[in-house]
Amino acid sequence: MPVIYAVGLGPGGAETVTPQAMNILLSCDVVAGYVKYVDMIRDILPGKVFFTSGMTQEIDRCRKALEFALDGMNVALVSSGDSGVYGMAGVMMEIASGSGVDVIVIPGITAANSCASLLGAPLMNDYVTVSLSDRLTEWSVIERRLIAACTGDFVICVYNPASRHRPDNFRRACDIIAEYYAPDTPAGYVRNMGRGETTHAVMTLREIRDCHIDMFCTVIIGSSQTYILDGRMITPRGYRL
């Protein structure tokens, strides 16, 4: 029986695709995914069947991937970053359940890790990831999760911070965090990680609240232990120096 591989592409570009993921992509008959993610790898996969669809069409995309597999084709269903972190792996498993088609997750470099590498070493100790997209999660739930992260003094990695349709979510989140964390808490953002014209900056929680943060950004807000050294964020692991 053919297989559907839920493949994480990393932040963008062929150089950030893991060797395992590249081997799977080369071996599959069909590559399916959100149009912008497929476009990142289309040129390096000649001869493949491509199926793309737009944002918010994730369920239809998975159903089409299952159709290809039931027709005898091996399918790579791609996500940016890691397919199991805010990606397509979970919903694909749910849709394929009972079909006889196996879904195998191929991990990728997720935004938390790739962006942290540009900002310094902010994830050296415990951290959480929180998505601010309220398309599938109620804002009240997101708010509770932010508060829980703050009361635990975690470094907070923010995915999907803002978009054209939810321009105020990041500022709302910063206002919640500011009730628990000092205004000079180190923070940083990365825009367009791995996709050309990548930019990043390190600053404070007070400053980042009013920065232009959009859907192409990932934000990392430090804990009470995080500090800035030579322009980079560090969260100490606890070694004696």
- DSSP string spanning 112-131? HHHHHHHHEETTSS-EEEEE
pLDDT attached to residue 5 = 98
* Confidence band, pLDDT 50/70/90 cuts, at residue 56: confident
Phi, psi of 187 (to 5 degrees): -150, 160
The pLDDT tens digits for 143-153 are 999 999 999 99
Among 3-12, 74-83, 192-201, 222-231, the range scoring the smallest mean pLDDT is 192-201
> How many structural domains comprise the chain?
2
Task: Collect all residues with Cβ–Cβ distance below 8 Å to 18 and sequence separation of at least 6.
Answer: 8, 10, 106, 107, 108, 109
pLDDT higher than threshold 80 for residue 12: no
pLDDT attached to residue 40 = 87
Identify the sign of the CA torsion 144, 150, 154, 159: positive
pTM greater than 0.85: yes
Do 72 and 155 lie in one domain? The reply is no
The residue from 58, 81, 106 where one domain ends is: 106
| 75-79/120-121 β-pairing | unpaired
Task: Collect all residues with Cβ–Cβ distance below 8 Å to 3 and sequence separation of at least 6.
Answer: 69, 74, 75, 101, 102, 103, 104
Do 72 and 145 lie in one domain? The reply is no
- For residues 187 and 206, what is the distance between their CA atoms, to the nearest angstrom? 9
Tokens representing residue 215 in the block: 């859907």
Do 84 and 133 lie in one domain? The reply is no
74 is in which domain, residue-wise? 3-106
Distances (CA, A) of 170 to 89, 162, 215: 26, 6, 10
The residue from 52, 87, 106 where one domain ends is: 106
- For residues 143 and 138, what is the distance between their CA atoms, to the nearest angstrom? 9
Neighbours of 89 (CB within 10 A): 24
pLDDT attached to residue 167 = 86
Do 122 and 226 lie in one domain? The reply is yes
* Mean pLDDT, rounded, of the chain: 95
pLDDT attached to residue 186 = 98
Mean pLDDT (whole number) for 207-216 = 94
The residue from 106, 127, 151 where one domain ends is: 106
Identify the sign of the CA torsion 227, 230, 232, 235: negative
The pLDDT tens digits for 105-141 are 999 999 999 999 999 999 999 999 999 999 889 999 9
| For the chain, percent of residues with pLDDT exceeding 90 | 85
